[in-house]
Amino acid sequence: MGKQATRVIVNGKSHARVIDARLTLADFLRHELNLTGTHLGCEHGVCGACTVLVDGRTARSCLMFAVQANGCAVTTVEGLAPEGQLSVLQQAFIDNHGLQCGFCTPGMLMTLTELLRDTPAPSEQDVREALTGNLCRCTGYAGIVAAALDAAQRLRGALAKPGSP
């Protein structure tokens, strides 16, 4: 019952599958594509651990069916470091003690990737507001906020430097 042919572009690669309509995008990524970087905490849209980008906008992948993403471009945490080279934000997390157990980290990174793209010079309040939809049960928010602000500064510096990528 309810099988659907679905094609989703994930981290730049197209994947076609025939799937149950009830399969969430999160389970599609984890079980069909083995992209287990996307974490599932609560599975009802509260914790934010499963946050991914759908057509460039953050979404909770536990609150979307994979069939809804048919034809969409999805970016997961794996897409932030396709060649194994960490993104500026990921490196800033390491440098600022932005993760402890790491469970919430993929969701945090995706939310902040969107924020830093749309708001290159965020205030601390902007960062904290963006993160209201992501829970860290290690309560390591101070490090996460510091990492976001540090990454924003590094990204602005890279932009200001002539000739840099």
**C-beta closer to another protein: residue 42 or 138:** 42
Q: Which residues bind another protein (CB under 8 A)?
A: 1-2, 4, 20-22, 24, 27, 43-45, 48, 51, 54, 57-60, 62-65, 67-68, 70, 111, 114-115, 129-130, 132-133
To another protein, the closest distance from the beta carbon of 164 in angstroms equals 29
Cα 62 versus chain centre, distance: 13
To another protein, the closest distance from the beta carbon of 31 in angstroms equals 11
What is the SS3 string spanning 96-163? CCCCCCCCCHHHHHHHHHHHHHHCCCCCHHHHHHHHHHCCCCCCCHHHHHHHHHHHHHHHHHHHHCCC
**C-beta closer to another protein: residue 65 or 165:** 65
**C-beta closer to another protein: residue 7 or 97:** 7
Q: Please give the helix or strand (H or E) that residue 90 lies within, else none.
A: helix 88-95
To another protein, the closest distance from the beta carbon of 59 in angstroms equals 5
**C-beta closer to another protein: residue 31 or 97:** 31
**C-beta closer to another protein: residue 132 or 164:** 132
To another protein, the closest distance from the beta carbon of 63 in angstroms equals 4
To another protein, the closest distance from the beta carbon of 89 in angstroms equals 16
Q: Give 132's contacts (C-beta < 8 A, 6+ positions apart).
A: none
What are the φ/ψ torsions at residue 16 (nearest 5 degrees)? -110, 130
Taking the C-alpha atoms of residue 84 and residue 49, their distance in angstroms, rounded to an integer, is 21
6: β partners: 17
